[in-house]
């Protein structure tokens, strides 16, 4: 999904059809428009609900200050993101801001180094190596890092399962990516819940790489092995949970084997309403897009003094909340009535949305 008023740089469908190796990214000529103050948004894709809503929030902030939003689509490839950023930066980028997800931790430093050479201020989201922080690595460039607490997310889902199963039964978990810190955090949160519900038995963990179809395939395998002895599936995100439910539906087990997810997608809310899904965790991507874009832009424009930001405001979580049948209607309405975010309003309230500093060790991948 592409948004009007946003210029997108990336592999479009036609280019993908002829192969990524034949795609050449070219920056627009500097004379074509004023390139100062642009807000550049480096995302994995634009088709998913999460990324579409993230872009909506960031776009609102850009529009409120009359600045161009440039979307760079990486297709989950860190090198592709770097190549495209170089093309965007080559046209000139005075007072530009970047909000980006490094596809893996391995690309975080390279993105920061390239942005520093271009004078671009950066907020990263989701992925950063444990040993790198905004105050000790390219500290004049790297404004902040933002994420959601994966341990809390996994714990919320795990405790929902514990309560629904009266604390006993065989469960399995679909993790995100085997090399993802966020996936590891959500599994750690699930294991924390299991430790408090010793009657729960985690019989298997498989990795679905955040993809719905892989969640479906993994669940089919489990059903062949465990049948209805399996009482619940804890999924690292809503897409994989949806895939799991599709596999359960094939056997008439939807709503009988419990499923949890994370992200708070509209699909998950609908599945909760139908009784096919037990719970998810609301993480507001529209607000995340607005908050991170406002922070990066504010520093780039000289409106926020980076030197005055303490560490807890440069490496922080945003708030999240569990969603189940008891409160899903509230969150459905929140999605329907998402506001158009304004830079001045967001800037004044950024830290009201913070859920605290990211703790030491949170970004370890093991």
Task: Spell out the domain ranges in the chain.
Answer: 6-147+284-319+338-357, 150-282
Q: Nearest Cα to 169, choosing from 220, 232, 218, 226?
A: 232
What count of Cα atoms within 13 Å lies in the side-chain half-sphere of residue 33? Answer: 13
Token output for 79 = 């090198």
Selected residue with higher pLDDT from 105 and 189: 189
Q: How far apart, in whole angstroms, are the C-alpha atoms of residue 142 and residue 114?
A: 11
Selected residue with higher pLDDT from 26 and 211: 211
CB 299 within 8 A of CB 123: no
Mean pLDDT estimate for the chain? 90
Q: Does the fold of domain 150-282 match that of domain 6-147+284-319+338-357?
A: yes
Burial (CB < 10 A; 0-12, 13-18, 19+), residue 184, is buried
In sequence order, the β-bridge partners of residue 71 are: 8, 41
- For residue 239, what are the contacts with CB-CB under 8 A and spacing of at least 6? 48, 210, 211, 212, 215, 261, 263, 265, 267
Residue 6 has pLDDT above 60, yes or no: no
Q: What is the pTM of this model?
A: 0.85
Confidence class for position 15, pLDDT limits 50, 70, 90: very low
Q: What is the pLDDT of residue 24?
A: 34
Q: How far apart, in whole angstroms, are the C-alpha atoms of residue 236 and residue 183?
A: 6
* Highest CATH level, class, for 6-147+284-319+338-357: alpha beta
* Tens-place pLDDT, residues 160-190: 999 999 999 999 999 998 878 889 999 999 9
Q: How far apart, in whole angstroms, are the C-alpha atoms of residue 74 and residue 46?
A: 10
Helix (H, G, I), strand (E, B) or coil at 69: strand
Residue 14 has pLDDT above 50, yes or no: no
Q: How far apart, in whole angstroms, are the C-alpha atoms of residue 213 and residue 219?
A: 10
Q: How far apart, in whole angstroms, are the C-alpha atoms of residue 337 and residue 308?
A: 34
Residue 316 has pLDDT above 50, yes or no: yes
- Which residue in the block uniquely carries the two structure tokens 């997800």? 101
From edge to edge, which strands make up the β-sheet containing 39-43? Answer: 6-9, 69-73, 39-43, 97-100, 121-125, 142-148, 315-318, 354-357
What's the average model confidence in pLDDT over 91-115? 93
* Highest CATH level, class, for 150-282: alpha beta
Q: What is the pLDDT of residue 342?
A: 95
């Amino acid at each position: 999904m592409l948004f009007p008023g946003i210029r997108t740089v990336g592999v479009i469908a036609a280019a993908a059809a002829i192969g990524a190796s034949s795609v050449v990214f070219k920056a627009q000529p500097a004379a074509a428009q004023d390139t100062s103050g642009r807000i550049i948004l480096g995302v994995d894709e634009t088709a998913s609900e999460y990324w579409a809503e993230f872009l909506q929030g960031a776009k609102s902030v850009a529009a409120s200050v009359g600045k161009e939003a440039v979307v760079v689509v990486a297709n989950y490839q860190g090198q592709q993101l770097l190549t495209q950023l170089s093309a965007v930066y080559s046209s000139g980028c005075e007072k530009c801001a970047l909000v980006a997800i490094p596809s893996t931790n391995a690309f975080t430093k390279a993105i920061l180094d390239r942005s520093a050479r271009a004078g671009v201020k950066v907020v990263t989201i989701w992925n950063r190596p444990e040993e790198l922080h905004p105050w000790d690595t390219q500290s004049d460039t790297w404004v902040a890092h933002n994420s959601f607490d994966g341990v809390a997310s996994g714990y919320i889902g795990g405790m929902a399962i514990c309560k629904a199963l009266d604390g006993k039964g065989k469960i399995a978990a679909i993790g995100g990516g085997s090399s993802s810190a966020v996936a590891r955090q959500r599994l750690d949160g699930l294991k924390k819940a299991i430790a408090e519900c010793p009657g729960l038995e985690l019989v298997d963990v498989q990795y679905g790489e955040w993809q719905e179809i892989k969640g479906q395939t993994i669940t089919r395998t489990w059903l062949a092995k465990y049948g209805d002895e399996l009482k619940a599936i804890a999924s690292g995100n809503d897409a994989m949970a949806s895939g799991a439910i599709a596999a359960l539906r094939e056997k008439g087990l939807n709503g009988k084997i419990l499923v949890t997810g994370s992200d708070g997608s509209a699909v998950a809310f609908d599945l909760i309403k139908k009784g096919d899904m037990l719970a998810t965790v609301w993480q507001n991507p529209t607000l995340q897009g607005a908050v991170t874009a406002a922070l990066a832009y504010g520093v780039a424009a000289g409106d926020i003094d980076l030197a005055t930001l303490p560490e807890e405001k440069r490496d922080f979580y945003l708030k999240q909340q569990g969603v189940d049948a008891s409160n899903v209607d509230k969150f459905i309405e929140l999605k329907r009535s998402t506001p158009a975010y304004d830079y001045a309003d967001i800037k004044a309230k950024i830290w009201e949305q913070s859920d605290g500093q990211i703790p030491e060790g949170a970004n370890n991948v093991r």
